Amino acid sequence: MKEENELTYYEKVKDWNFDSFEIESDYLTNWNLYELLNKLATKDSKILDLGTGGGEKVLKSFPECKEILATDYSQEMINTANENLKKSGRKNITFKVMDNLKMNVPDDYFDFVVARNTPTDPKQIYKCLKDGGYLFIHGVDKFDCYALKLIFKRGQGTDSLKPISIVDYENVLEAGFKNVELIPLHVREYFKNRESFKAFLQKVPIINDFGDDKDKFGYPIEDDLLDQYIEENTYNGKIRLLRRYYGIVAQKQKKI
Ligand SMILES: C[S@@+](CC[C@H](N)C(=O)[O-])C[C@H]1O[C@@H](n2cnc3c(N)ncnc32)[C@H](O)[C@@H]1O
């Protein structure tokens, strides 16, 4: 998947709001990034959210604090985020265009950096954190939605030799972070019907991996394979998708 292709995909998607799919989530692990962030942050905290999308999560789940900078490399996502900001009435939040891999922020400045389902360069993150500051990562791992990927014989992350969680974990350690924890996050997601499940799969790059076909952004989803998955994975009338996420918490060690 080419980076340029991925940016064009996000420019077309424009937001990252899944409310319309009415997904029911059953969490098998109780680690929650937002709970942790809200617990640790104070009114004086400065928070950076990388790859913020349309700002949905920042506006809804981040704490009220001194400063939140939320960035994304897609101008379209930032436009959506600014519209959402106006409607939210929240203060001290700024959205700006920035590539996570070419970060343009002050050194030793933030108390928290959050990167949820977006690429990171832990070395650059380390530089912009204050001593004692925290990095929180949430990601989608190699075996996410695996039963679905097996039926479609393709999908995001299936070609990677090492699970993405391990690659991230190693990079975070190599960047110099301490107290690094890697937490597997298992979630059962339920969809109420075929229509909403298909619409979801057409929006997210799970089986089509950002649309390897440059012209189409996701191949059409094969109806016979979709029906096979639904037949094998319907419980109490709802379609189940097994998610494999991971969380990473790490700290920039305080200088002694
Ligand atoms: C899967 S969405 C996640 C959005 C949000 N963090 C959330 O969890 O709801 C990924 C976001 O990362 C952004 N993104 C992908 N690669 C990026 C990069 N290199 N630099 C900055 N943003 C990036 C995309 O534009 C998209 O908005």
Using a 6 Å cutoff on CB, does residue 82 contact ligand 1?
Answer: no
Consecutive H or E run containing 49: strand 46-50
Asked whether residue 201 is domain-assigned, the answer is yes
Are residues 120 and 50 in contact, defined by beta-carbon separation less than 8 angstroms?
A: yes
- The atom number, within ligand 1, closest to the CA of 101 reads 19
Using a 6 Å cutoff on CB, does residue 73 contact ligand 1?
Answer: yes
Specify the pLDDT at position 106.
98
Using a 6 Å cutoff on CB, does residue 203 contact ligand 1?
Answer: no
**7 CA to middle of ligand 1, Å?**
9
pTM of the model: 0.92
Give the list of residues 6+ apart from residue 12 with CB closer than 8 angstroms, or none: 76, 217
Mutation test residue for ligand 1: of 62, 100, 118, the one with most atoms within 8 Å of CB: 118
Domain count, the chain: 1
Asked whether residue 234 is domain-assigned, the answer is yes
Using a 6 Å cutoff on CB, does residue 15 contact ligand 1?
Answer: no
Asked whether residue 256 is domain-assigned, the answer is no
The CATH number for 7's domain is 3.40.50.150
Helix (H, G, I), strand (E, B) or coil at 127: helix
Specify the pLDDT at position 215.
44
Fill in the amino acid letter for 254: K
Using a 6 Å cutoff on CB, does residue 10 contact ligand 1?
Answer: yes
Tokens standing for residue 34: 């937002």
Specify the pLDDT at position 165.
96
Specify the pLDDT at position 31.
94
Asked whether residue 235 is domain-assigned, the answer is yes
Specify the pLDDT at position 57.
95
Specify which residues 188 forms β-bridges with: 26, 242
- The atom number, within ligand 1, closest to the CA of 54 reads 27
Specify the pLDDT at position 17.
82
Using a 6 Å cutoff on CB, does residue 72 contact ligand 1?
Answer: yes
Short-list 244, 242, 240, 219, CA closest to 231: 240
Using a 6 Å cutoff on CB, does residue 191 contact ligand 1?
Answer: no
Domain limits at 171?
3-251
Specify the pLDDT at position 200.
93
Backbone angles phi, psi at 139, to 5 degrees: -140, 170
Residues of the chain with pLDDT under 50: 1, 214-216
**74 CA to middle of ligand 1, Å?**
8
- The atom number, within ligand 1, closest to the CA of 99 reads 20
- The atom number, within ligand 1, closest to the CA of 138 reads 8
Specify the pLDDT at position 158.
81
Fill in the amino acid letter for 9: Y
Specify the pLDDT at position 4.
64
